[in-house]
Homo-oligomer: A and B are copies of this chain.
Amino acid sequence: MSKVTVSRHAHFNAAHRLHNASWTVEKNEAVFGKCNNPHYHGHNYELIVSVRGDVDPETGYVVDMKWLADLIEEQVEQRFDHKNLNEETEEFKVLNPTAENIAMVIWKLLRKEVAEALELKVTLYETPRNFVEYSG
């Protein structure tokens, strides 16, 4: 009855390219267009992490926002900020770094660290005009 969702903004900058290694060059270009550029392009990813649960009557918090901000920094920013996602991260060595896949990877990284009783949702803006949401 008293479930509240709390959300925290964060951000990281990265280079990426969309590519399916099992396809021909031509099919990659046809499907991914400019996003397939072999020299990479990049984005300012704006991230919103939302946690839903009961409000602790002693603190008035669902979770401590400082804890959540630190968790995002440790699990997401340190891993992806100022990186080339395809070249420099374990997560996207094989997996195509679309916004959808990045959001799902971030969700899984955070899910392990957030108590099971809490619901978790990730919203990821690839640009101010395109964004994705994933909640498991």
* A positions within 8 Å CB-CB of B: 1-9, 11, 13-16, 18, 20, 23, 31-35, 37, 39-44, 46, 55, 58-62, 64-66, 81-84, 87-88, 95-101, 103-104, 127-134, 136
Q: What distance in Å separates the Cβ of A29 from its nearest Cβ neighbour in chain B?
A: 12
Count identical subunits in the complex: 6
A8 to B73, CA, bound (A): 21
Chain A interface, >50% SS class:
mixed
Find chain B residues with CB under 8 A from A9 CB: 128-130
Beta-carbon nearest neighbor of A96 in chain B: B60
Report chain B residues within 8 Å CB of A84.
15, 37, 39-41
Task: Give CA–CA (A66, B127) in the complex, Å.
Answer: 13
